[in-house]
Chain A
Amino acid sequence: MTESLVAGSPNPLSHRLFARPEIGATAAAGVILVFFLAAAPAFRSGGSFFTVLYQSSTIGIVAIGVGLLMIGGEFDLSAGVIVTTAGLANSMFCWWFGIDLWVGALLSLAFCLFIGFVNGYLVMRTGIPSFLITLGTFFVLQGANLGLTKVVTGSVTSPDISRMDGYPLLEGVFASNFDAGGVTVWGTVLWWLGFTALAAWVLQRTRTGNWVFAIGGSADSARAVGVPVVRTKIGLFMTVSFLGWFVGMHTLYRFNTLQAGNGVGNEFLYIIAAVVGGTLLTGGYGNAIGVGIGAFIFGTTSLGIVYAGWDPNWFKAFLGVMLLLAVLVNLYVKSLATSTRLLRDSPGKADDA
């Protein structure tokens, strides 16, 4: 065993920095922020900055879960409507039975986790792509949201909950805001940052995170070395539905009443935030901070266009362009990470062909 294998070249800093998932998104976020600061005078205030952060957080919280799930190699198209399902379940259950909102919130949580479990279980059990399974759940929930709301209230709006038991406390948890130096800061922004930090820790620094990357990168390889693939994937689906429940609670306790048709289409915003943030569509690559920056780009643009006084319809066209650019960048980064690097400094060892 005298001959040794030498592989790769020591990465220069520029190379390593460029191969980080969120680097493209960070640059894009900077450019977009500067652009709107220049184009929209109304944008240049602390108040509007925190409004942007609030807007980002409402998408960003669920996008964290969707991003983790995508790194784990799966999709969840029901993530948009489950937000509304969570709020409706809480409010109508409590209104119908006249019980404390706390109980309803917990029941709604259990129900959402159950939906996430069913999504994951069906995907793992049948081997049908998660795109199809969750497309099914998406339509079931969308229909049930409207149908059940009509049965219970006779309209497509959920009953007002602001005078029911437990309301003030829950509003404090999910939908509070406070004043910091003259600007309004919504609690969801702090929750968003907290969840992002937690997800970043889990992904990069824990065993669970290692498993998430592994099942997304190559589920068979992961299984062969003893990673519990089924359990990890089901856990990821349940994480998405937990975060969906959380935003559902926020929406309910902020507006007191919900439109049963809401949430449709948001699943794509979550996926866009994740992909723009450097998550690979095919799994196995990405990080939580990137997803956060992706959500921030969403918040900046959606409000920047309004502040600049343009037709807000252009927003979606812009998102589409961002998505396409991001996919191209991600593809390039992936090819960097998987191409065999040729030896330059030790030509004598030709093992590395």
Chain B
Amino acid sequence: MTLIEMREVGKTYGPIRALGGISLSVRAGEVTCVLGDNGAGKSTLIKIMSGLLEHTEGQLMVDGEELVFSSPRQALSRGIATVYQDLAVVPLMEVWRNFFLGAELRSGRFPLAGLRIREMRRIADEELRKMGITVKDINQPIGTLSGGQRQCVAIARAVYFGARVLILDEPTAALGVKQSGVVLKYTAAARDAGLGVVFITHNPHHAYLVGDRFLVLKRGRVELDSRRDEISLNDLTQEMAGGDELDALAHELRRTTK
């Protein structure tokens, strides 16, 4: 089932084109990997999907309906949740407050209505356990968790609030090998739960572990669009590392070092 479909989507800032001619589809139960070097347009692409930026060209279709998101709230209400690498959580707030931030349970609809704190603590704890994350104290500031754990809490939160599309922005970029493994596991778990996952990374090895489809961006354009069975890890790495440019560079370096 196709959840998001992009047709020739682009974004220009005045005369500068950050992104152009992007076509991709996000399907339920699949991981779509978007790879690219710094400045390739990955962030612009996910910001369009998550509602932080409006696209200026092409069509963005969610469940077959053409839309332009003007705020993250709109994207969220369509079931599109984004977990950002560096801004997934508010460090000084408790784990449970972070879990429910933006979707708090209240005891009424009037302005001063109290939060249902006990219930939120219980649900946050249960949901994290379900994902296999055990937090000793749900009341501790989330800043006391490690980077990988914070990412996992953010993913668990998105899954709990009924996200159908999960956009992960470089979730493993700042993590060590072991923590990256944990995050990749939750990514796979989200896929198995039937979510459409968009996985942004510049690490082809991580992408190849979980991806069903690979999109390599370069200077705001699609360089490669391939299904998993059509491409090997070596080819993907080659493509990501600069492809022919790398060959030329290798050749050059060989000659000078000899």
Contacts and interface: CB of A to CB of B under 8 A. Distances in A.
19 contacts: A1-B132, A3-B182, A5-B149, A7-B149, A8-B135, A8-B137, A8-B140, A202-B112, A205-B114, A206-B111, A213-B97, A220-B84, A220-B87, A224-B84, A224-B88, A284-B92, A285-B92, A350-B178, A353-B176
Interface of B: 50, 52, 72-73, 76, 82, 84, 87-93, 97, 100-104, 106, 111-115, 117, 131-137, 139-141, 143-146, 148-149, 152, 157, 176, 178-179, 182, 185, 189
A352 B93 CA distance: 19
A206 B114 contact: yes
B93 to A, nearest CB: 6
A226 B72 contact: yes
Contact of B50 (A3, A6, A201, A224): A224
A207 interface: yes
A4 B133 contact: yes
Interface string A207-219: 1101001100110
A341 B148 CA distance: 14
Main DSSP-derived SS at the A contact region: mixed
A5 B182 contact: yes
A1 B185 contact: yes
A135 B216 CA distance: 48
B52 to A, nearest CB: 7
A2 B176 CA distance: 20
Interface in A181-233: 201-202, 205-208, 210, 213-214, 217-218, 220-228
A20 interface: no
A132 interface: no
Interface of A: 1-11, 201-202, 205-208, 210, 213-214, 217-218, 220-228, 280, 284-285, 334, 337-341, 350-353
A221 B87 CA distance: 5
A334 B179 contact: no
B146 A352 contact: yes
A238 to B, nearest CB: 14
B176 A4 contact: no
A8 B102 contact: no
B72 A224 contact: yes
A341 B149 CA distance: 12
Contacts of A284: 90, 92-93
Contacts of A3: 132, 182
Contact of B92 (A9, A220, A334, A353): A334
Contacts of A7: 134-136, 140, 144-146, 149
Contact of A5 (B97, B111, B133, B140): B133
A117 to B, nearest CB: 18
Nearest to A209: B115
A340 B144 CA distance: 4
A286 B197 CA distance: 37
B50 A351 contact: no
Nearest to B157: A225
B72 to A, nearest CB: 6
Given A351-B148, A353-B146, A353-B176, A214 B134 contact: no
A220 B91 CA distance: 12
A210 B104 contact: yes
A221 B115 contact: no
